[in-house]
Amino acid sequence: MPTFQTISPLTGDPIAEHELMTADQVDAALARATQAYTTWGETSLADRGKVLTRIAQLHRERKSELARLVATEMGKPLAQAEGEVELSATIFDYYAQQGPTLLADEELDIAGGGRALVRTSAIGPLLGVMPWNFPLYQVARFVAPSLILGNPVLLKHARSCVQTSLALAQIAADAGAPEGLYENLVIPAGQVNDIIADDRVHGVSLTGSEEAGRAVAEQAGRHLKKVVLELGGSDPYLVLADADLETAVTAADANRFANAGQSCTSAKRIIVHTDVWDEFLAAFLERAGKWTTGDPVDPTTKMGPMASESGRREVAEQVEDAVAHGATLHLGGVVPEGPGAFYPATVLTGVTPQMRAYAEEIFGPVAVLYRVDSVSEAVELANDSRFGLGSAVFTRDLELGDQVASRLEAGMVGINGPTRSLPNMPFGGVKASGMGRELGRFGLDEFANKKLVRFL
């Protein structure tokens, strides 16, 4: 049976060896999910909610174990990993508690006699293709709404996070999820297309790269399957002339360098008005210089290694290209010697469209700062991107902030702060950042049958 190893981002050594599932094992998982669709559909909403509540409880009870797995497999510092555990638990709690409201029949106001309503119901087993950068949270935001709605899930996690994925599957089982409701698939990426094509699968959600998104969308379209894609971003943070600089600097710094910069929604392009440029840059550099790297399981570590050597290599090449073409390197930018996929907090200015760093997403601890002379120039620069996930505007004039938000080509805009992920807030983007929404009512509706029932 084919096997593969997961590699420590801290040492570069193997962590564990895992067996890939055989075709027969995958087929059996699909059969179990199909059967679970029937049995779970006959389970009351109250009993579904109890399972989700227990999943949330088990996340909290096993917080230390889960956080250590995340730190070990992808390098996230323990404190940040523990925060991810708590966020995941709140998502399961939210759908457990709000399920009856979210799934209530919606009466329609119709002319003439009779009545009509829209009933929200499940569509069948779903495939989730999950990334490594938030290996708990991104599973929760796919799984929780699916389960409360009645859709079993087949989860293909990143190969670097197998131990985490196994721990999550065990939590589902220990919480009382019936057989087949939560199936963990340890398979190569090339097998995803076969599962999407299978008639027993009725939708697919992917969080990952643009390349993966295109492949999944193409296969889903070919087989008429609903698809939700979250494909990353290059979020602009607009710091206007009247911004509270302490707030803006603090938010941009924390948002950019947490998780070693490996977040889809992160302050990757910081666009600063010329009136506050000097002050902002000085304060930002001071804060950025405090992001020391170290062992992610050490509670004093602020930034662990990047998740892989290949990811670090990509980021280093993007920075080197920018500097070679005239960008100014203010901080970092040098690959440290020794083991581990470490990369320092890095700050660039003077990036131009001729450089890779201008158009590409930098998925690592690199902040690019731009200087602009007006609000219109800031908006134009912010929208000059093929991405459109998150964004933020910092200004004391809330009416102006709202006007700028309306002009930004993004799925989410924060005024005077980042767009924090919360269970009841929709998450998603436009353009190359993907399609569809997760979380809240909008996430629940993505893989739902909005069935019209007409009484004549």
230 is catalytic: yes
The SS3 of residue 71 is helix
Q: CB within 8 A of 308, min separation 6: which ones? A: 7, 9, 160, 341
161 is catalytic: no
Q: Which two tokens stand for residue 367?
A: 């902040």
The SS3 of residue 70 is helix
Within a 13 Å sphere around the CA of 209, how many CA atoms are in the beta-carbon half? 10
List the beta strands (DSSP E) in 213-361: 226-230, 236-239, 269-273, 328-331, 346-349
CA-to-CA distance for 288 and 293, rounded, in angstroms?
Answer: 12
Count other C-beta atoms under 10 Å from residue 309's C-beta.
15
Cα–Cα separations (whole angstroms), residue 97 to 100, 171, 331, 383? 7, 19, 46, 38
Closest CA to 311 of 158, 444, 443: 158
Instruction: Count the residues in the chain.
Output: 456
Cα–Cα separations (whole angstroms), residue 208 to 60, 87, 216, 228, 256? 27, 20, 10, 11, 19
278 φ, ψ to 5°?
A: -60, -45
CA-to-CA distance for 78 and 379, rounded, in angstroms?
Answer: 37
Region label for 114, one of left (φ > 0), alpha (ψ between -120 and 50) or beta (otherwise): left
The strand pairing partners of 155, in sequence order, are: 128, 184
Within a 13 Å sphere around the CA of 312, how many CA atoms are in the beta-carbon half? 24
CA-to-CA distance for 293 and 290, rounded, in angstroms?
Answer: 9
Q: Which two tokens stand for residue 391?
A: 């964004």
Count other C-beta atoms under 10 Å from residue 299's C-beta.
9
Q: Which of 73, 84, 264, 438 is catalytic?
A: 264
Q: Taking the CA atoms of the chain, what radius of gyration do you get in angstroms?
A: 23
User: Which long-range contacts link 3-8 to residues 24+ away (Cβ below 8 Å)?
Assistant: 4/159, 6/73, 6/159, 6/160, 6/161, 6/162, 6/163, 7/160, 7/308, 8/72
List the catalytic residues: 230, 264
